[in-house]
Structure 1
Amino acid sequence: MTSRWRRLSDRLAGKTEPEPLWAEGVPDHIDVPIRDWLYEVLRNYDMASPVAVRLKLPSRILKSRDPYNELANLDDRMNPMLRLEVIDATLGCVQQALQGTHWQHRQTALSYARQLEGILREGDSAFTVSEDGSRLERRMDETLHATYDKAVEAGASKTETAADHLRAAFTEAYGIKPDPSAAYSRAIKAVEAVANPLFLPNAPEPTLGKVRAHLEQGGHKYEMVISDKTGAPADIDAVVAMVSLLWHGQRDRHEGGPTSAPVTLEAAETAVHTAAILVHWISNGSIRRK
């Protein structure tokens, strides 16, 4: 984890708490570098038309004398997210246009994405560029992000499906237009991808709910690699509790029930991180048969 720069007055005052993140739009202090970055990328990759079409923007933009400049300066006080959507669409359109091209072209595009990430980070934006440079995401605490990265790596070592579901869950939870329901559903699928083959290898229709029941009834057959207070391998009560939390917390799985409710963004984020821990534990052998 890299240390963050602090202004001189804060260092002299011994200030240690992080600066608050700017959660809406592009703040004024990074407006100019963002505008310059957008203009250069839009022009160099001829992305005015794809971005305008993707965002369904007014035709006056493409009819203007300089559509790249129009897009780079596009702002709407009634919709502070519009600038971010232009950036997000630009990243996505560039990556799509470069699919199948020489790796040097893709590396150049990735360097542009990293340049943008530097601007957003130094400007304390609540948004960051995704690892593959294809989109914007809401910024996550670096420690939590490291846990997520480890889980994706561990999940991929067992099945790429788990890693794919976990990446999708993260994107749905932390994208600029989050979808909590989709994020929660993908989080459960990520755990199922590694848990079902391990705990229910012969089940015709395995689910996380059946994994939970199996572990509740047969928990005595398993143990953790970590020790309990006696020095013996710990039981799997913590695993059962986390699986139960994840399974029961998806209140939008079925409609019409007395406890049915939409999944909140906070619940979806918690589900993603719970799933990441479970995927990591199951994939790297932290839970084993006695």
Structure 2
Amino acid sequence: MTSPENSAWQLLSRRQISTREEALLEGVPDHLIRPLRAWITGYLDGRPDLIERVALRMRVALGSPNPEQLVDAVSASDPSKLLDVVDVALHLDKRLWWDLDVAGPERTMEAGLADWIPAFGWPKESRAKAVEVLDEMLMDAGSAFEVDWRQRRLQRRVDATVTTAAEQAMIVDGGRHLQASWAATYGRHPDPSKAYDEAVRAVEAAAIPIILPTDTKATLGKVLSHLTQASDKWELAIEGPNGGAVTPLTEMISMLWKGHVARHAGSPTFRPQHQDEAQMAVHLAVTLVHWFATGAVRRRRSG
């Protein structure tokens, strides 16, 4: 048992009708406009430097660095742009960077009183505490977006288990490319082709030092070719009925590599990658990076 609150909880009326998960809401629905405006103005209050930078990034002209004026100017024609304000503010706020990366959370006085009470929490004056409130607000409102704590921005809501697996893969070789791929896939303004590019680069960064360590010009295609031709020299951690044969690995790499149709602009098959391709590519890359980083792909042991 962790927290008594459950993100999968539904209203009684919905539980009685169906067990299907409620659809997430795009943009800023009416019920989220007021609380989100209030959060933005509170977060930016007393921060003229941050207001000015956010306004510049949003291409908004302000008479003075006033948070209410910024919110009014941005949301007048399209309330969904409030999410862009949040996205930019989180990414530019260096005080938040400090609270997350240096100061960190503090041990709570209530720690140990109940198993659902966290042992650590953000101080009330911490910028991270305000962002935690924002994250809860978005979840309660059924927003399709949540806080990306690692990259200090908003991202499309992803299953928590999947997110955790991705975060673990991001700290090894190829992690920088995985972060870029994840942001381009699930960020406020997705870029599927960039996401796919970075997914391929992430796997290259993890695989080449293991499979072709002396080849300074190696690509994922070369990795695939080597593993296919020298498959008897490599094995997977799971032996299974095929004695750890790398066929599943080469099939996964082949799908990622050959599906990269945006790689060469002059080729007859060139086209921008689709969003669903980018999503599949980044999750495939997470698995492959993890396999290479943890030794699940290794030289076959003699005998």
Q: TM-score when scaled to structure 2?
A: 0.83
The offset of 1:146, in angstroms, is 2.7
Q: Specify every segment of 5 or more residues in structure 2 that has no aligned partner in the other structure, as ranges.
A: 106-121
Cα pair 2:96 2:128 within 8 Å, conserved? no
The offset of 1:93, in angstroms, is 2.3
The offset of 1:184, in angstroms, is 1.0
1:7-156 correspondence runs (5 A): 7-11=11-15, 13=16, 15-23=18-26, 25-46=27-48, 47-57=50-60, 59=61, 62-63=62-63, 67-73=66-72, 74-77=74-77, 79-95=78-94, 103-104=102-103, 108-132=126-150, 134-153=152-171, 156=172
Relative to structure 1, is the Cα distance of residues 257 and 125 closer, same or farther in structure 2, using a 3 angstrom cutoff? same
Q: Deviations over 1:165-200 (max 9, x none)?
A: 111110111111111111111111111111001000
Cα pair 2:234 2:299 within 8 Å, conserved? yes
The structure with the greater share of residues assigned to helix is 1
Cα pair 1:114 1:133 within 8 Å, conserved? no
**CA RMSD across the alignment:** 2.4
Which portions of structure 1, spanning 4 or more consecutive aligned residues, are displaced by more than 6 angstroms? none
The offset of 1:142, in angstroms, is 2.5
SS in 1 for 2:155: strand
- Look up the match of 2:261: 251
- Look up the match of 1:177: 189
> How many correspondences in the alignment?
274
Question: What code does the residue aligned with 1:18 have?
Answer: E
Which whole-Å CA distance do the structure 1 matches of 2:46 and 2:102 have between them?
17
Which whole-Å CA distance do the structure 1 matches of 2:175 and 2:202 have between them?
7
Question: What code does the residue aligned with 1:71 have?
Answer: L
Identity within the alignment, %: 35
The offset of 1:98, in angstroms, is 5.8
Which whole-Å CA distance do the structure 2 matches of 1:133 and 1:216 have between them?
37
- Look up the match of 2:240: 228
Relative to structure 1, is the Cα distance of residues 142 and 274 closer, same or farther in structure 2, using a 3 angstrom cutoff? same
Q: Deviations over 1:103-150 (max 9, x none)?
A: 449961222211111111111101111113621111112232233123
Structure number with higher relative contact order (C-alpha < 8 Å, ≥ 6 residues apart): 1
- Look up the match of 2:118: none
Q: Specify every segment of 5 or more residues in structure 1 that has no aligned partner in the other structure, as ranges.
A: none
